[in-house]
Each structure stands twice: as C-alpha cells, then as structure tokens.
Structure 1
C-alpha cells in the first residue's frame, strides 16, 4: 500500500502550522468524558461499533472505496488538486466539496472495524496531510465564494469535514484538527443563519444539516456552547419560521423551498440529521428534550405513506429524481436506517409499530437488499431486528392519504400503491435548480406512479433518463417540443384547484390543469377504489395547433416486452396491470426501445450524471385527443396486478354517473364518489346528489347510516351544502363543521385549507 502524501515533503511546513492559538474554551461543568462519549456514539453510527464476521463483505466494500480514494491521491500544489480529476482552482465546479466527500470515504475506511486499514497510523498521517492541503487551497475562513453554491460552503463541506475529523480523531494531531475546523466559525457558525445570504433564516433540512455540523464541531473542540446552540435549533425545527412555508404540516406534508413537496429528499435529510443528533447526545448534558411525540409522529404521518417495500416514492423526491446516484432505494434506505436509529430513543408506543413495519420492508425487498446500501451500524440493527422472533413481519401499509398542503395523494392496497402528483398556485409543478431535473416539465401535472410488489425496480432501473418525458403516466399534454428547464424555474399554475379527500380505504383526487406555455386546459379526477383507480378527464381544450394526448400508462419493462393482450375496450399488460377504457375510446399502444443518458437530465456540478447510454423497453398506452381539441374527455381505469378476466369484466362493475365541466362522478358497489367543480347535480339510482359549491365528496351507505367525507380543494367556498339521494334525519360522529340542514348536510369548509371533513349521518 502506498500513500502519496507520506512519500512527499510536508505540503505545509511546520512553520505553517506552528503558533496556531487554540480557540478560547469556556469552563464546562461536564468533563471531557461527556464530549468523548458523544463523539464515540457518532462514530458508532457512521462506522459500526465492533467487527463481526457476518459483515465481512460490507466491510470489504467500505475498504475498497477507501483504497480507491487513497490510490488515486496525487497532490499537486501548482494547479492545486488532491486528485487529478478534481482541480481546486475554481470553486464553481464544486470540486472542493467532492474532495471533502472523498476524505470522508477514506476516513470511514480507516475507522471501520474489519478493514485492513483500520487504525493504520500511516493512513491517518496521509489523511492529515491531505486535510492540511485542502485547508490551504480549498476551504478556509479567508476565501471568497466567488458565486459558487452556498450549500457547499455552509452545509456540504462542514458535514463531510466534521464526519472526517470524528472518524479519524484518534489518529489526528489535535492542534491541526482545530485548524481544519476553524473555517466553520465563519461559514457555519449558527444553524439558523445563512452566511452567504444575510437575512435568510434556515428552515427544514438545511437547518437540521447545519445543526449537525455545529454540534459536531462543538463535540470535537469541547465547546458546549456550540452543542447547546445546535440542540436549541433542532428543538425549534417543528415550529416553522415566520415568513417561510418550509417544514412539516399537520397533514404530514413536507415543503422545502417554499412551494415544493420534498418528503423523500430534504425531508429524509431532516429526519436523519435530527435522529442522529438525538442518538449522539442521548444521556449527555446536552440531551435534546422538548421534541416529544411531535417529532416521532412525523415518521408515521409523513414518511410511512410514501415508503413501498423500502422504496421512497419519486413523487416526493423533487429534482433529486434526476440524480444518477440518488434513487428511490437510496432515500428508502436512509429512511430505514433512521427509523432503526430511533428505535432506542422513541417511546415504546412508536417503536412497537415501527419494528414490524421495517421488518416487512426489509424482507419483501429482495430486489435491492438493504445490506448493499446501509452502513455497518445500520446493518447490525437490521440483522438484529430480522433475527428477533418476537417481532412479526408487518404487512404493507394500506389506506388513502391526502396531503392537501403539498398537492399529493397516495392510495395503498395490500399488493400495490398509486400516487398522484398535482400542482396549483400553492405548489410548484417542478423544480429545476443547479442544472438538475432538466426535463421534469410534467412531473407535477397529474403524473401518476404505480408501485407493485411484482416489480420493485420499475422506477429505479434507469427510468428517468430513458422514459419519454413528454409522455408521463397520468398526464394530459400538449405535444410541443420544449427546451430544458432553466435554473430557478418556478411554475405555479394559476389555479387553486388541486386536492382531494379520503374515506377509509377509498379516496378521490382532482386538479384543474393549466399547462405551462400552452393554452391547454383540462379537469382531471381520480377515484381510488379497492382494486382499481378510475381516471376521468373533461373540458380538454387547446388552440395552439398541436396534438393533445392523455397518457394512460408508460411502463418501464426493462429488457423485455411482457405479453400484452387486447380486448374490446381493455388492454392487459402481463405482470403490471389491466387498463379498461370506459368510454369506448380506442387507445394507441406503443412498444419501443428508448436510449438516454443521465447527463441529459442532470448536468449539476456535483450531481451530474455520466454520458453512458442506457436503454430500456417501454409500453405506452395513450388516448389521442387530436389537434386543438374542444371539450374532449377520457375515462379509463387502471387495475394493478389484475388478471385478464378481471380486466375484461371491470367495465360491468363500474358506473360513470357524470363526466362534465360541472361534475365528475362514479358509482361502485355501495360507494358514491364525486368531484363538483361548481354547483351541480348528478343522478344516482336512488335519486339526485347535489352540491351548491366546489368540493370533492365520498359517500358510503350501510342501511340507514351514511359515512361521508367532504373537502374543498379549490379553497374558495366558505360552506358547501350537500343534498344526498336520501333525506337526512340526523348527523352523528361529525365535528362542528358538519351539521344537518333540513333534508341535507352543510359542511363548513372555509379556512380548512383543503382538508377533509367526515361524518356519519342517519338517512
């Protein structure tokens, strides 16, 4: 093993490091033991506590990555670089951030039990000289950011640097350690303040990430004031900062950058940072208190609905869907790891739910095993959970979840899940930033995501660079050619209409489509049933001289075309779903091979994909509305994992009651579901169902009892009067917002921000 830096003279002579004054440290009641214990807990979370032969393969993978970093290390002071492919002369490239990430990889190999370099003094000295080099040439308190990404300076490098120093701590000279950490006094002094943009108060994941770096600097330098500052910032995270919409909402929504759903990216980073701070500071003088159930509840409310067998749904991963190295299983793995970390700290009523849940995720996802992604500490916890006979294998989560505060709806059944991504004047259609997500034009225009237990790789097997970005499932699109989305793109459709309501295992969602850069308009609704999703569209109109299409399906089938069967009004795609055309439309089916590159959709400085072509096969089902349609409509059903016979017979089991500009409604068994875009009436077999204003509505009758759920996704009505097909005698089990009004029901929806109101009425 060779160590390039150890073969050279010191990059920074002794004069460069001599005479550095140690920081002033306050006297602390707690001795150094408390700091050391916190640091050791942190290292245990990163590298695992003790070596076990069961983890040999994973330890070898960590060692392989560390050795690759070490082997390629070639310090060049002239045009400064530690690695030839990462020159450090231009901060705008982000290479300094990548360099610190590589140092973390090297440190992880050194600190991981079971690797050949574990505790190696020569490797530690090589790392120390490399950190000297980076301090001199890439990251110190006197440098100018020169317009580069603030995140690298204030979160990215501080996190990697503090991790690196913690991992290598026992092999590092302490005077030089304080020198390397000194830039953080300038670039990351306070978790709540942004140095590069004065006046910006940090929120959500950014505050959590900064808190982690500040706390670790405090631990490494024995400064309790910094640890307390970080703990206080974390304790206030659940209280959204005035003037910002970022953070968690009561319905489980998570928003970052003011208008974007980001549960599966920034939200996961937030959850992880806080969890590790809780674990690191447990039983210390700085133990984080005051969070209570508010923090633990968000696991169930915000994250569990979006995790399908260990995969985090792409509808809440924002622009990170375009990152080649950040796929749904990476976000899912981080979520699992975080929940495993929390098991020791969480109240037992939470942990009791999570253990079977996580065990089920781990066992069902054999396509992408957790132990190929997780750190050793996470693997140890997972192995212990899997080996515990007292913990049952939890089933998949079921139910319908309406996230009114971020225009997302998730419908989950025992064998599959279906998510709908909408947008409005409150929620952005797609975020493009830092040259990422360049072709995400339609990801918030009613795109639908089907997850099945039979194929857990449909969304992560190079889908985003290969799928036709003009034909995303669920969308209605103008077929114009488009340029890549520019940095800072922010489209908020000029309509409040997006949302829905749930009633037990059923739901309804709706959005008014106002296309960007096009005259295209449409009203879209989805009815979420036990075994199907029924999609209705109406009022589809455009006047730009281009063809308009509705995409029923566009399925990544990897390297083969599965059998496809067509019948009268239906299509069946083996291993995926059946598709029933409910209005006699003749859909177009396209089976094609598509090739793309990750670089096509992400050219980010530190995230950009490579230029390697990847090819996948797709089956696309679409409805052609023609050029410049006027009041066009569609009606179809998606039947996940249905048989051919079930697909062929579905049309006989569903009744479309209305599909007009005023009302879209269906009847299925004992369920009535409707979207009233404005005041209107729809005829049912029992009589008229009417509403005097906009709302989404679900009704389920059981003899003389009717369960109902109502919401106003338009957020424009104060009160909606619902006239049922049956005279109302009384209202039971409803809140104050639902009351009887003669033979009808009135629901106070004003001020409820699109959230649902439920009640049981006697008829």
Structure 2
C-alpha cells in the first residue's frame, strides 16, 4: 500500500499507517546511567539504535499470527518495489512511474519507497532481510537520487514540502537503517544536503522570515535530530530538541504553549494549521507523533527534553483528540483536504492518531498513560470493520498488543458529552450509540482548503455539514463516500445549485474564508449545546441563518432568512446517507413504506416524519414563520459512481481512476428558485426505531419557539431546557437578549443552569433576562453578574472570550 505524504512522515514502516517504537518512551535508569557514563560516540550509537528500533520494531515473535501478517504485508509491498526498481546503468529514475528523478515530486516520492525497502531489509522475516544485493542496490539508489535530484547544488522548485520535510525525513530514516553499509563520504553528503534544506526546525528555508509552526516544526525537529545523530553532532541534536520549545525565539512558536490565534493547540481543544484550517485529524496528529517520537528518542540521554510545559501535549490527547475520535475513526470534519486522499480514509488517520497516543503513553506520567491506554483499548476493541492490526506496521502493532493483552487495562466506553471548539468552528455532540460533528466556517476559520490537486470538490464541506457517526455503521464516511456522494448535497448544508469548477488545481494549498462572523455555539453542563452559523455563500447571493440544538437523543436543525436572487434553486439537505454497495434499508414516511428501487424519487410535502432502517428517524415539525404548505420535502434513492482521481490529482496523493459505485438515500428541502425569507425545521433522531420516531413526532417533546432572522429557539420541557440563538436583540419563550448571542437555560428543581456565548465575537457585554425568578448565584464565571428578582437579568462580559461559553448556576 502506497502511503500519503503525511502518513509517511513519522516513523513510516512500509505498510504501516505509522510505525512506532517498540520500547521507546522514557529510557530505563540503567540506560540513563550508561548514556551518561559512556563516551559521546557510544551515546550517538545508542540513540541511532533506538531510532532504528522505532522504524523496525526491534525484536518480536515472528510466529505470532498478527506479527506474521504485518511482516507479510511489509514484504509484499517491498518486494513489489524491489522487483520494479530500475538498477540499470543508464537509468533516469528509480521507478518508471517516478520519472524524471530530478523533479521534486518524483524524488520526493522515491525516497519513501527506498525507506520501505530498507525497512524490509532490516526487519526479520521478509524476503529481503539482510540481503547483500538489496543493501548494495539501496546504497547505489541513494547515490543516484543524490546526484540526479536532491543535492546542495540545487535550489528549491515546485512544492517546498518535498525539499524541506518529505525527502529529508525519508532520506534520514533510510540512512539510519543503512548506516553500517553506507560509505562515510556518501553519508556526509546526505547529511550536508539535509543541512541545506532543513538546517533547523525554526524557519522555512525557502522563506527565512517565516517561522515554522505546529506539525511542520515538529517534523523538522525530528529530521534535524536524526541528522545530528548521523553526523555525531551534539549541537545539532540539541538544536532539534530546543526546536520543540522554540528556544531560539524565546518560546514564541513552542509546541507546548496554548495559542490564541494562528497555528497550534488552543486551550478549548481546537487545533489549527495553515492559520485558519481545523486540522486536528492530520496536522495535529502529525505534531503529536513527531513531538512524541523525538521525546521518546532522546529520553534518558544528554539531550532529553526537560520542558515542564510538555503537559500541553499530554492534555491534548483528551482535550483535542479523544472528542473527535469515534471507535478508532478520525472524524472527517477535522481532516481538511485529506478527505480526498484515497489512501488516507478516516480509519487510516484514526489508526495513526491512536498509534501516536500509545507512543506518547510510553513516557507520560502514569495518570495520563493509564487513561490513554484504556481509550485506545476501547477504540481498537469496538472497531471490527477496520481492524487496527491490518492498518499499522510492526512497531505500532507491538505497542497495541501489549495494551490489548493486559487484563488490568479496561476498555474505555465511548465518550459522551457536548464539545464546542470555538477556536476552530467545530462542534461535536456525543451520545452512547452515536456522535454528530458540525463543520462550520467564518471569516476566522476556512470553509475548506484545496490545492496541489487535492480536495477538488470540497466546496460545501464547511457550510454546516453534519457528520452522523453510528456505532453500527463505521464505514459511512470511509467506504467510498467522498468519490460517490453528491458534493452539492452534503448533509446539513444549504446550497445554491449552481455548477462549480474544480478547486485546487493549481500549485500550492489555498483556503477560502467566508465573510460571516457567526459560527459556533455554547455548552451547558458538558451535555447540551447549541450552535449557529450565518451563511454568506461563495459566488452567490444566497444567505441564510442556521442553528442546531443538541439534546439527549435528538438534534434540532433550524434555518431562517433563506434568501437568494440568482434565479437558481436553493436546497437544504437533511440527509444523504450512504447505503454502501448493495444496501436497501427500508424507508418509512409517516409509517408507510416507500419504494426500494434505485432511481425512485418523490415529493413528501406534508410528511411529519421519516425513518431509515439502520440509521434512525427524521421529524419535520411545524414552526413559527413557516410558509403555508411549508417547503417541499424531496426524497431520492440513487446509485452514484465516481473515482478518487476526480477528487484528488495530487502528485503523491492522487487517487485511482477506477470507478466506485455506492447507493444513497437523500432527503432535502426544495426552497425553489430565488427564495425570499424561506425557512426549514427538522429533527434528527439517530438510532431511534420507527415506532420511537412516530411517537416523538406525535408527542413533540421539543417545541420550536421561534425560527426567524431575529431568533431561533427551542424548548424541551421534560428537560427544563430553553435554548436560543439571537441574531440581534430579541425575545423567545420569555427569554430576552440585548444583542447577538447563544443562550441555554435549564431549570431543574430549584436550581437553574445558564450558559451564554457570543459566537460572532461582535459584542462586549450581553444582558440576558430570564423568564422565572432567581434569588442568588451559587456559582458563576467571573464574567457574569446577576440582578436577582422576578425577572432576573444576567450581565455577561463577552468581549475577548473568542466565542467561548460563560456559565452560571443560580437558585
């Protein structure tokens, strides 16, 4: 299996999503003493041996079926590349499909293949293990690439990443594996090449004024460390370690500091890369892996990391990563343009993240490590659809097997709760059997990233797309979803049906940030939430105000002020569910079974509810502001065919042109051509039975209080919950706000819980009048003051809070 460039970066064993240390972590006391007492040369040798073990896994039981399968997978890939390796004297490239070798995209992909061959050569049990012929061919191949493509005499061209991260990382890994076979002059030449293009972790070499951040900084720190070890240069190894903390710039770009803007980890769990992209699932994971690897590599040595702020990295596991992992899947809302990569599905990136978490656990304090291992055990145990052992290489497998075989480690249950990542415009609502992720965008956070031929159809992925994860269907987004789904009908979005041109066909990655300010929401009691997004469409006059209210067993979605004047049809997509290759689940509408043949379509105007077998229910309630007769609801069953290559033509990530076909059931509201002040309301009941859906639709336990361009609000009386998003000053259900903001109020007995946020970040102070008497505050953030009475008023200082929740408990 060929890997994506991000997957090949960190400890990439040939077939692994990422290969990780078998024993890396904090070195034993004996190791530390030995390293301290030994000559400097022995210290370098010890760490180089550890680096090799990180790549191969060290000693393992070749008779173990899991390891045998991993060895076979490695051997299969390596043998194929060995067979196709051009070893002729007049060659122009190492592989015919990577020609000419002088092109950065071609040598950038050639080095990872050589690393795969070197890994197989150094790993017990493959057909290439210890072969002198293979070793000689690899030494010659490195020399060929060095003279033809990647050397200090050349200047950077094309994509900077190949020169400064991709090629040097694979080259240094290969040199670690082949160090006993490489002539000293050859090794010195490769070290000199990497020293030119990746001299330190701190700066972009082709743009020296640009400071490296996040994953790029972590990647470069590993490269510099390996270069220093191979060159036996203590100062260079120290430079690599200090790069994690950004010592040279007094910690300004430290990976162990919470940021408040730009790239890095935020205290609310957000992770941003490329200045405005929600990227926990790819760049955030790479940072976790590279930083964790370097910490493990240098542990117990003279260069061991001693930055006390490393706790930021530890806290990120449960603050940033755990909420966006579902049974070992990394949620697509956090993967940016990687959703278009055929060889990086949600289960691949999930396996990568899980692997990095277990790597970090090896050296973390016990309270952290114990919880992480339990999380990992739960993820691996529940995901039978994409077994972890088949996704990773030998080092990662060894670490995971140790956890799975340890009866003292419990398998953690699925995480539940509501998570609002205000600093990256993402919302995740988790219940025991399902989870829902909202992908929003604003003038702060990009609606999408595309470029270098990637994510060509990502137009609407940040326009309020809703990802529904079901524990019984872990393949929903990983099984051919992206090449086959209608990209104009992504669940949760309101779209102009105009034809769109492919994105990202030029060089370099680019982002699109819309003009709206409002995107985000509020959290109450870590369990309930509300979110809103103002839609100002790209290249269209379409505007809309959208809100979601997340309860125990339901998500209520409201839309209002839907207006456009381009004489094109506007649609809001309730659902677009993949049925995989041959699924034919029953669809009921108001209790009546609908046709099951492909190509069926219908108008369901007047429907109260629908139920899709295996997924759950959908309720279409009346609501204030609804036009007479409502907005027409449409339904469609169809088979759709596409290819990964149509989504991604990247030099090293491009997909196959082979056609993929999947079945879908789609439900959507048709707002008509150039609507004015149109609206919608629907309720998602994930996992609900048909009977439960019908009962819910009849009993209406949640009432829509308001749905217009001023306020959108719902009331769940059984929960004592009133939730509203105010687009300006207004009132709903007795709740009044002085300006824009999101408010949740829950009355339970004599206690009242309140949460307030300003997701538009436009206000300074917000006053909220409650509809029932309050005597006193029992607990409140220091930004909240109360004027008690029969109509109490809360004054909330929202300035500077960046859209985060302010909470209070009242009596």
Taking structure 1 as the reference length, the TM-score comes to 0.93
Output aligned runs, 1:704-719, within 5 Å.
704-719=750-765
Is 1:322 matched with 2:340? yes
Residue number in structure 2 paired with 1:676: 726
Which of 705, 724, 729 is the aligned partner of 1:657? Answer: 705
Output aligned runs, 1:333-348, within 5 Å.
333-348=351-366
Which of 555, 564, 574 is the aligned partner of 1:542? Answer: 564
Distance in 1 separating the partners of 2:650 and 2:326: 28
Cα offset, 1:77, TM superposition:
5.7
Is 1:579 matched with 2:627? no
Cα offset, 1:242, TM superposition:
9.9
Residue number in structure 2 paired with 1:287: 304
Contact 1:203 1:241 in 2 (8 A): no
Output aligned runs, 1:255-334, within 5 Å.
255-290=272-307, 291-334=309-352
Residue number in structure 1 paired with 2:785: 739
Contact 1:585 1:623 in 2 (8 A): yes
Distance in 2 separating the partners of 1:161 and 1:642: 53
Is 1:588 matched with 2:599? no
Residue number in structure 2 paired with 1:477: 495
Which of 729, 749, 757 is the aligned partner of 1:703? Answer: 749
Residue number in structure 2 paired with 1:3: none
Which of 464, 470, 478 is the aligned partner of 1:446? Answer: 464
Is 1:351 matched with 2:369? yes
Distance in 1 separating the partners of 2:45 and 2:517: 53
Contact 2:632 2:671 in 1 (8 A): no
Is 1:66 matched with 2:63? no
Which of 37, 41, 45 is the aligned partner of 1:36? Answer: 45
Which of 155, 163, 172 is the aligned partner of 2:165? Answer: 155
Secondary structure at the aligned position of 1:50 is classed as: coil
Which of 175, 182, 187 is the aligned partner of 1:177? Answer: 187
Cα offset, 1:728, TM superposition:
2.2
Distance in 2 separating the partners of 1:259 and 1:315: 14
Aligned-CA RMSD value: 1.6
Structure 2: state its 5+ residue gaps: 1-36, 247-253, 591-606, 623-629
Distance in 1 separating the partners of 2:474 and 2:259: 40
Secondary structure at the aligned position of 1:39 is classed as: helix
Distance in 2 separating the partners of 1:117 and 1:48: 16
Contact 2:271 2:279 in 1 (8 A): yes
Cα offset, 1:220, TM superposition:
1.5
1:594 to 1:206, Cα distance in 2 relative to 1, 3 A? same
Output aligned runs, 1:540-619, within 5 Å.
540-559=562-581, 560-567=583-590, 568-583=607-622, 586-619=632-665
Which stretch shifts more, 536-545 or 718-727? 718-727
1:129 to 1:78, Cα distance in 2 relative to 1, 3 A? closer
1:134-193 CA deviation, whole Å, 9 max, x = no partner?
A: 111111110133x31000000000111111111222333333222222201111111111
Contact 2:440 2:465 in 1 (8 A): yes
Distance in 2 separating the partners of 1:591 and 1:210: 49
Aligned length: 729
Contact 2:783 2:806 in 1 (8 A): yes
Distance in 2 separating the partners of 1:293 and 1:96: 38
Which stretch shifts more, 165-174 or 298-307? 165-174
Which of 43, 48, 60 is the aligned partner of 1:51? Answer: 60
Secondary structure at the aligned position of 1:409 is classed as: strand
Distance in 2 separating the partners of 1:198 and 1:172: 32
Which of 754, 759, 762 is the aligned partner of 2:808? Answer: 759
Output aligned runs, 1:13-412, within 5 Å.
31-52=40-61, 53-54=63-64, 55-75=67-87, 78=90, 80-88=92-100, 91=103, 94-145=105-156, 147-236=157-246, 237-238=254-255, 245-290=262-307, 291-412=309-430
Contact 2:258 2:312 in 1 (8 A): no
Cα offset, 1:435, TM superposition:
1.4
Contact 1:525 1:675 in 2 (8 A): yes
Structure 1: state its 5+ residue gaps: 1-27
Contact 2:738 2:766 in 1 (8 A): yes
1:41-95 CA deviation, whole Å, 9 max, x = no partner?
A: 2222221111312111111111111111111111456561111221125525x11
Residue number in structure 2 paired with 1:667: 715
Residue number in structure 2 paired with 1:8: none
Secondary structure at the aligned position of 1:219 is classed as: helix
Which of 508, 512, 535 is the aligned partner of 1:513? Answer: 535
Distance in 1 separating the partners of 2:336 and 2:298: 31
Contact 1:154 1:188 in 2 (8 A): yes
The answer to which structure, 1 or 2, has the higher relative contact order (CA under 8 A, 6+ apart) is 2
Residue number in structure 2 paired with 1:490: 511
